[in-house]
Structure formats: structure tokens, C-alpha cells
Structure 1
Amino acid sequence: MKPAFPGAALLAVAITACASTPAAGPSDIADPYEGFNRKMFAFNNGLDKYALEPAATAYKTVTPEFARDRVTDFLRNLRGPVIFANDVLQGEPDRAGTTFARFGINTTIGLLGLWDAATHMGLDRHNEDFGQTLAVWGVESGPYLVLPVLGPTTPRDLTGFGVDRAIDPLTWVQLDNDNDTDLAIRAGLGVVGALNARVNLEDQINTLNAQPEPYIALRRIYSSSRQAEILNGRVNEDTAYDDLPDFDAFDDYDDELFEDENVGAAPEEE
């Protein structure tokens, strides 16, 4: 789960982040609380339809694409310290180095992250969170959950979300000497981030909602995308061939077919 955005946006972010990530393992997850989850899914869809989507449409109307792109780059840069911490905790020094360099370049040359200069220098962006870190450490995901406002998650990812918030410097840094002002700034960042995310992900959300069974589609997308994120694009050799047929059975079939074709055949002349 991605911190820094308030609830309704988390649903949009979860949907689209998953939809844009290739599957890298089993495409489904245990769902023992499906009845509850479906109710929460319907609630979140209603919240998106009647609150977040209209607000995002208004935001898109008054905000040019160039400005929205700068908001996207700025908010992504703010996650740099959290991504770096999780890179280190996962024992990924190369990725940690890339994250550190990206944050330094984008914060300086990129004008506080308003421009993703690091990508233009060949330092590609990636995401990490503590839910992924727990998975790398061998913690099981637990059952699939859909929470009101927060959207799809698991106990492991929900724990990771809380830890990410705790280690995020933005949670603790004093932006102003007045607590009310700090709260207003953080809330403003959250609202703008939510609207910006909803605009960026509009096509993917519409595609999901057009599925015959959006609930099941989202569950599979969430599960497979999280697996892909945990593996950082690497293939899991234990599950990579789970969906392939049993080729030994085909060999047995070929042997039987060959024997049948040769029954009664005249012996070859020597």
C-alpha cells in the first residue's frame, strides 16, 4: 500500500498500480472474508463515483497537464527516503544507491522534485514499501482484505503501511512552528495527491469497472502485482512453471500412439 494519499485515493492507486504491473506468480489470494470484502468494495466504488471522481474531473479541468506532471514528480520524490529505507532493509545495495542518487538529483537539479531529472540521466524509478520488505523476510501475506477508504490490502501490507508512515520523515518533520499549519500542509498534499492520482489513473479504473466481475479482477490484479513488486521483476523459479501442462503426460501419450500405429504393421525388410 502506498502512504501519503488519503483513503479514497489509495483505492485508485492500488487499482492502477496493480493494473500496470505484470503478473509474476499465482494470480489469486485466499479470500475467506469475501462477503465483507464485497461490501467494502461496493462502498469504495460509491465513494469514488460520487466524491473522488467528480472532484478529480474538476481538478483536471482547471489544472493543465504540465502542472499535474510536476505534482506527480514532486510527490514521487517525497517517497524517496521511505523507498531507500526499504531498499536497505531488503538487502538491495544497488537499488538503494539508485534511490539515494535519484533523491539527491531530483531534490537539487530537479527543483525539490518538481522535475524528474534523474530519469533523464538514466536512473530509473522504482517503488518499495515495508509490506514488500516483510515479504522478502518471509512473512506470509495473510488473507485478502478490502477496507473502507483504504481499499485492497492484506494484514502484511497493512502493517507495512503503518511502518512506512512511521519511518517517513514527512510524518515527523516540522514544516512550520504551528501544529495546525503543519496539519493543513500535510492535508493539502494529501488532497492534491489524491486528485492527481485519480486523474492519472482514470483509464485503468474505467477498464477495471468494465470487467464482468470487477471485484474478482481487482483481487487477482492486486495479488499478482504485489508478487511482481516483491520479486523486483525477477522470476520465481518455484512458481514460474505452475501454469504449464504436464509434458510427461504428453510423452506417455506419444508413446502409446506410436505403439498403436505400429500394431499389425508389416515388418521392415532387411
Structure 2
Amino acid sequence: MKTALPGAALLAVALAACASTPAAGSTDIADPYEGFNRKMYAFNNGLDKYALDPAATAYKTVTPEFARDRVGDFLSNLRGPVVFANDVLQGEAKRAGTTFARFGINTTIGVLGLWDPASEIGLERHREDFGQTLAVWGVESGPYIVMPVLGPTTPRDLLGFGVDRAIDPLTWVQLDNDSDSDLAIRAGLGIVGALNARVRLEDQINTLNAQPEPYIALRRIYSSSRQAEILNGKVDDEAAYDDLPDFDEFEDYEE
């Protein structure tokens, strides 16, 4: 059975989710547990500063950009079945077809996803998760919560995270017919993915940390980015980042 990703991997995934998606509307999320959340934000920020960032710097030094790009494409392709399942659950037939075709092309022609030829022929990648699916079904997000290691989330997205793990074929497939080897392989994928994401997001994370109130900036971009993902980017761009001055727009990043 697949275990949770290592702490550094989860932190990088959280940073990627919050720092990479185009912002939507100005609605901020309810934050009734701000005292607790600020403590967890400080903990996670320290973990990034003293553990993940130095490790990512070393990884960048020894790994050329070409290799990091291949890692990113490979890990993105592994999420194809989860994205496809959520496309179907949301009734998005066209997007489900795109995901299915992308996975088939990239797994074969792209050599197990190490390359992304599907994008070259116009089949652009997108991300879906069960938290988004619940939102499409009308489930309210609940309050903003910052979890230790996992980062910013909501009760709805926490539930979605668990369901995504359950429906991911990699959760159940035996990779080496040995539980210890399987655990090591999955942990290795998580760690490499975390380091890869942290390298790609270095400028964005530095921009976030340079804000006058980075906690509020992170909360706002988490709320707006999730809304953008739920609506598949169909948002009012003029409303983005209301009341959040001097916040540079982040570039898109896919895992």
C-alpha cells in the first residue's frame, strides 16, 4: 500500500499548487483558525528554509536542466489516471478524452512519459483532483487550514487528497514484489518530485516570501488558485489579486 509522501515532498507539492496556478476572483477564504494556521505556516516555512531549499540547491547543482525536465514530464504523466478519473467524475468528456490521449501518447511515443509529445500536437495538460470534483458537485470548501508539512488546504481538499491517493493505481500496484522496495521506490519518487518542484519554483517562492505579509498572500493565492482550477480557468482576470498590492503574477507550473 502506498504511504504518504515524505514531508519535503508534500511541502513542495503544496508550494507548487499555491504558487503556480493563475489567480481567480478576489474572494478570500474563511480563516477562523488564523492563530494555529500562522504557527503551522512558520513551521512549514522553516522546514523549507532549512531542509528543502538547501537540498534543492544541491539537486540543481548536480542535475542538468534537461534531466529535470524529463523528471517533471515523467511525474506529470504518472498522474494521468487520477486526472482522467476526475475529468470523468466532473462530466468533462472533452477534457477526459484529452487526458486519455495524452497518457497514451506520452507513455508510448514519449517513452513512459519522459517526454511530452502530446503537448506538441496541441493536447495541453491540465490538472484535476477530487477536491475540485467535490467543488463541482457543490460541496463547500470549509475553512482555511494550514497543516504541518502538507501546507495550506481545506477540509474539502483534505478529503480530496485522500480519495486521489485511493484511486491512484500506483497506490496498489506492486512495483518490485517486495513491500520494502516498493516503499523505497515511492519515497524516492516523492523526494525527487519535491526537489524538482522546488527548483522550478525558486523565483516564485522568493517573490511570495518577499511580500509584506506572506501569510495573507499565500492564503489569498491559495483561495483564488483553487477557484481558478475548479472553474477550469473561466474567471474574471480583472478581479484577480484585489487588495493584494505589489504581488507579481506567477508563471504556470505543472508537476
Query: How high is the TM-score relative to the length of structure 2?
Result: 0.89
- One-letter identity of the residue aligned with 1:192: V
- 8 Å contact from structure 1 (residues 83, 128) kept in 2: yes
Q: C-alpha distance in 2, partners of 1:188/1:12? A: 14
Unaligned runs of 5+ in 2: 244-255
**CA distances 1:44-94 after superposition (whole Å, capped 9, x unpaired):** 000000001101100000000000000000000000000000000000000
Deviation at 1:25, TM superposition (A): 2.5
Instruction: Note if contact 1:12-1:205 (Cα within 8 Å) is conserved in structure 2.
Output: no
Q: Name whichever of 6-15 and 43-52 sits farther off.
A: 6-15
Q: In the TM superposition, what are the counterparts of 1:228-267 in structure 2 within 5 Å? A: 228-235=228-235
SS for the counterpart of 2:152 is strand
What is the aligned partner in structure 2 of residue 124 from structure 1?
124
Q: Distance in 2 between matches of 1:226 and 1:103?
A: 24
Aligned equivalents of 2:229, 2:158: Cα separation in 1:
16
Corresponding residue number in structure 2 for 1:20: 20
How many pairs align? Answer: 238
Instruction: Report how far residue 179 of structure 1 moved.
Output: 1.1
Query: Secondary structure at 2:146's aligned position in 1?
Result: strand
Q: 1:64 to 1:33 in 2, by over 3 A?
A: same
Cα contact 1:14–1:222 (8 A) shared by 2: no
Q: 8 Å contact 1:15–1:204 — kept in the other structure?
A: no
Between the aligned partners of 1:8 and 1:179, the Cα distance in structure 2 is: 22
Q: CA RMSD in A?
A: 1.9
Say whether 1:206 aligns with 2:197. no
Aligned to 1:35, the other structure's residue is in SS state helix
Does structure 1 retain, via aligned residues, the 8 Å contact 2:16–2:197?
no
**What is the SS of the residue equivalent to 1:41?**
helix
8 Å contact 1:7–1:150 — kept in the other structure?
yes
Answer yes or no: is the 8 Å Cα contact 1:84–1:99 preserved in 2. Answer: yes
Hey, what's the Cα distance between the residues in 2 that align with 1:80 and 1:6?
Answer: 21
Is contact 1:106–1:112 with CA below 8 Å preserved after alignment? Answer: yes
Q: Matched residues in 1 for 2:13 and 2:178: separation?
A: 31
SS in 1 for 2:234: coil
> Are the equivalent residues in 2 in contact too, given 1:15–1:222 (CA < 8 A)?
no
**One-letter code aligned to 1:29:** I
Does the alignment pair 1:179 with 2:192? Answer: no
* Distance in 1 between residues matched to 2:123 and 2:81, nearest whole Å: 16
Please say if residues 73 and 116 of structure 2, whose CA atoms lie closer than 8 Å, have aligned partners that are also in contact.
yes
Q: Counterpart of 1:146 in 2: which secondary structure?
A: strand
- CA shift digits 1:4-41 (9 cap, x unpaired): 85333333333343333233223310000000000000
- Stretches of structure 1 that go unaligned for 5 or more consecutive residues are 244-270
Quote the Cα distance in structure 2 between the aligned partners of 1:153 and 1:17: 10
Match of 1:268 in 2: none
Q: CA deviation at 1:176?
A: 1.1
Aligned-partner SS, 2:115: coil
Aligned to 2:192: 192
Distance 1:194 1:204, change over 3 A: same
- Counterpart for residue 68 of structure 1: 68
Q: Is the 8 A contact 1:11 1:152 kept in 2?
A: no
